Amino acid sequence: MNKNKTLVIIGAGGHGLVVADCALSLGYYNNIIFLDDCLDKLNANSHWQVSGPTANWVNYRENADFIVAIGSNTIRAKLIAQLVAKQCHLATLIHPTAFVSQHSSISYGVVIFANAVVNIGARIDEGCIINTAATIDHDCHIQAYCHISPGVNIAGGVKVGKLSWLGIGSAVVEYITIAPNTQSGAGAVITKSTQSNQLYMGVPALPVRSLI
């Protein structure tokens, strides 16, 4: 984080609400602003106001930190790229109850929610969501714009490819590679390396349909 005390959260859905609560728990930001393109239907997110559409981020670029709180990996990636291109400061939010090893690497635009664990040697690239109580074991590499859902357990040495989304309660065995844009259904157990652009379900997880 830099010296800014205002946080602009792009995306005022349920995920954005949890991001705001995480930011509030840090005791750093004295002003939290939501931007969302559903402004005509939504003027507040809980007790935080929605201050304008997404494009209004340009009004805050000089004096705020930013976080993109949109669940879609591809949309989140696009918006973060726009912010970085204009030299905006992307926050990294780590909930106080999360354990993140000092010997791990966490990039910008990442949110790590309550009770999550990121162990020694792990790398979390830009724009990732490490959701509530997810565990990332030693020496894993979570590539950019992934969503690791609540309760996911990833064993040591796993590589998770860019834009992947592991569904709630999924488990991944050690030292395998999750290909880019892999999705897994709730409770799936991934025991072998995956192929790109596939949805995996079951125990053990098998590909059930293409994502393209």
Q: Are strands 206-210 and 198-201 parallel, antiparallel or unpaired?
A: antiparallel
CB 120, CB 100: distance < 8 Å: no
For residues 84-103, give the mean pLDDT: 97
Given a cut of 70, whether residue 43 has pLDDT beyond it is no
Distant-in-sequence, close-in-space partners of 15: CB < 8 Å, separation ≥ 6: 69, 70, 71, 129
Given a cut of 60, whether residue 4 has pLDDT beyond it is no
| Cα 174 from Cα 172, distance rounded (Å) | 7
H-type alpha helices, the chain: 14-26, 73-85
CB 88, CB 66: distance < 8 Å: yes
| Cα 6 from Cα 33, distance rounded (Å) | 7
pLDDT of 132: 98
Given a cut of 80, whether residue 3 has pLDDT beyond it is no
For residues 68-74, give the mean pLDDT: 97
pLDDT of 42: 64
pLDDT of 1: 47
Mind listing the pLDDT tens digit for each residue in 146-167? Answer: 999 999 999 999 999 999 999 9
pTM: 0.94
For the chain, domains (ranges, CATH) are 6-91 (3.40.50.20), 94-202 (2.160.10.10)
How many percent of the chain have pLDDT more than 70? 94
CB 114, CB 98: distance < 8 Å: yes
Mind listing the pLDDT tens digit for each residue in 164-200? Answer: 999 999 999 999 999 999 999 999 999 999 999 999 9
Distance of CA 138 to the CA centre of its chain: 19
Given a cut of 60, whether residue 65 has pLDDT beyond it is yes
Q: Using alpha carbons, list the distances in angstroms from residue 22 to 36, 96, 113, 131, 136.
A: 19, 8, 7, 11, 19
Q: Using alpha carbons, list the distances in angstroms from residue 53 to 15, 76, 114, 179.
A: 17, 15, 28, 34
Mind listing the pLDDT tens digit for each residue in 109-144? Answer: 999 999 999 999 999 999 999 999 999 999 999 999
